[in-house]
Amino acid sequence: MSMPGSLKIVEMTIPNAYRLIPERYPDHRGSFHEGFRSDELSEVIGYPFVVGQANYSVSCRDTVRGIHGTLLPPGQAKLVTCIGGAVMDVAVDLRIGSPTFGQYDVTYQDEDSGIAVYLADGLGHAFHALTDGARMNYLCSEEYIPGTMLEINPMDPDIGIPWKLTGEAIMSEKDAGALGLHEAAAQGLLPTYEECLAHYEALKNNLPARRPMGVETAQ
């Protein structure tokens, strides 16, 4: 049922973040689509994406989770997909010195679209549940290591994410009390852009040779 070129990978406005947009195949039973192919995604990002852990979350409407990242080292790239309900998904550039440091890019994901978001090491992730029972699947490149998680306050005005809340945001105490972007930078918690690029290059050495393939760039 799958077809060559049935999955489109589009670079976001933040470098090293991508949207994976599948082609869905509906029939009388429902529908089918490819979520991702490891070799194609690895070719686009420039190094192997190896899944070390899978996580799931279920959230009620107006829940905000994030902004979450991972200290480098060890880092933790993520492929995030909404598999139930709908969310406003946000990628945030946490890499000091990046041309898009502190900027965000929004992707609306829902159970019907199958759209996923890939976030390289050094990028932060957050989302707002637009429906009750919003279910998210996270494929992570590294296993969870206690003490390496990084939380940035999702309401930080220096980032200015335009959350579309219908009421008060429902957050964990850790997220609600998290540092702002510039506070985290001042405390040396954020990676530099150069460190992340060096990390990607080190990962690239493990990428096997493969035929070239293109990637579309967001306008």
Among 47, 68, 125, 193, the one annotated catalytic:
68
Residue 42 DSSP label: H
* Cβ–Cβ < 8 Å for 143, 120: no
Q: Which CATH architecture has domain 7-204?
A: Sandwich (2.60)
pLDDT in tens, the chain (219 residues): 334 458 999 999 999 999 999 988 889 999 898 888 899 999 999 999 999 999 999 999 999 999 999 999 999 999 999 999 999 999 999 999 999 999 999 999 999 999 999 999 999 999 999 999 999 999 999 999 999 999 999 999 999 999 999 999 999 999 999 999 999 999 999 999 999 999 999 999 876 544 344 445 454
Which one is catalytic: 18, 104, 138, 193? 138
CA neighbor of 136 nearest in space, from 77, 85, 173: 85
- Known catalytic residue at 138: yes
Q: Is the full-model pTM beyond 0.85?
A: yes
* Domains of the chain by residue range: 7-204
